[in-house]
Amino acid sequence: MSTLSRTLPRSVSRASASLRVPARTMTVLASRAARVGAAAPRAAAVPAQVRGMKTIDFAGTPEKVYEREDWPLEKLHEYFKNDTFALLGYGSQGHGQGLNLRDNGLNVIVGVRKDGESWRQAIEDGWVPGKNLFSIEEAATKGTILMNLLSDAAQTSTWPELKQYVTKGKTLYFSHGFSIVYKDQTDVVPPNDVDVILCAPKGSGRTVRTLFKEGRGINSSVAVFQDVTGKALEKAVAIGIAVGSGYIYETTFQKEVFSDLYGERGCLMGGIQGMFKAQYDVLRANGHSPSEAFNETCEEALESLYPLIAQNGMDYMYKACSTTARRGALDWAPEFEAACKPVFERLYESVKNGSETRRALEFGSRKTYRQDFDKETDAIADQEMWRVGHVVRALRPNRK
């Protein structure tokens, strides 16, 4: 059995994130949407301002941004008329980006291990063996744009075989800078005669798909590692729109992977779990009931306050609360900032010096990876806080 046939599952799905940027729906070919059973995206209100590529002032720093108005569907079809997108891997991002490409009428095929779980999932999603579903080797041979969406550990283990298919004139595409930036650990070094680009959606692949179907679009970053054709950035932006992005900003491979690893270990996932758990445990230790501790720690945050921040910002959320809550939050925020900043500084250094990469590759390469991962996440699910959460969520009126 080849190394490419022993790919590992994706170990991390990016947490969902969405900036408040108005979006218009992309035209999705109705016939394709019907074939895959996807609902057509709903059209959002059209903003009055002129949209498209521009330079915007972000709190005093000008940045280029790209929006889908520069890449209507007809233009995408013309631009990629001679290309075949070969989606290598069908995890979270592969699922979302692949279905969006297909719904947008572009020529896309999937490459995964035959008869594995991803193969079965792809068939359930309407990919047809021999037509647009192949082994990784065959898809890599057929594709002109090789979308390496395997897990980070699998990208490392499969590169010795995969690199023979990365030939002159093709484009190598990633959605994470991991393999390229940490090449001293992954040994992923592309040939010097291909464009190497990145589009990194700021959310899980499931969110990429959901927002596309809703007619919205995920926020994404794009980067160029190697520009052979002179059009690598243009190509990255076009693919970013084609896979379902609504708003795109420029970064570098290094900045993307540094910010991503740092963020998911911090406020997006690791920090949230740690903060929730600490607050819940102190409430319980002081005699508060499980339901009260969960409601005051998690439920109010997720159902009431965090949505206000998402829609209108932290200052609005403060103004929407009582005067007593405002005063306390304003007083204690600096205390938490001072306490957390040293932890975040250590975390960023751990990402920067490659420690987090070594840990991730070691863990993702274990033969017992899935069992070990399930053991740790099952332990979280078994915490009293989250067992209480199951009961509280079932009581939400919309669950009835």
Which residues does the annotation place in the binding site? 260, 264, 296, 300, 322
The rounded distance, in Å, linking the Cα atoms of 219 and 15 is: 12
Which residues does the annotation place in the binding site for substrate? 322
* CA end-to-end span of the chain: 49
Q: Given the residues 95, 176, 288, 390, select the one marked as catalytic.
A: 176
Residue 390 designated active-site: no
CA distances from residue 309 to 35, 211, 303, 318 in whole angstroms, order as listed = 38, 19, 11, 9
The rounded distance, in Å, linking the Cα atoms of 294 and 42 is: 35
Strand segments (E) across 243-339: 245-250
Which residues does the annotation place in the binding site for Mg(2+)? 260, 264, 296, 300
The DSSP secondary structure of 141-166, one letter per residue, reads HH-SEEEE-S-HHHHHHHHHHHGGG-
The string over 162-200, giving b where at least 16 C-beta atoms fall within 10 Å of a residue's C-beta and e elsewhere, is bbebbeeebbbbbbbbbbbbbeebbebebeeebbbbbbb
| Residue 219 Cα to chain centre, angstroms | 9
DSSP 3-state assignment of 52?
coil
Q: Are 246 and 341 in contact (CB under 8 A)?
A: no
Give the number of other CB atoms < 10 A from CB of residue 280: 23
CA distances from residue 89 to 96, 117, 286, 348 in whole angstroms, order as listed = 11, 11, 49, 29
Residue 161 corresponds to which amino acid? E
* Short-list 244, 248, 247, CA closest to 28: 244
Give the number of other CB atoms < 10 A from CB of residue 208: 29
The rounded distance, in Å, linking the Cα atoms of 15 and 196 is: 25
Active site residues: 176
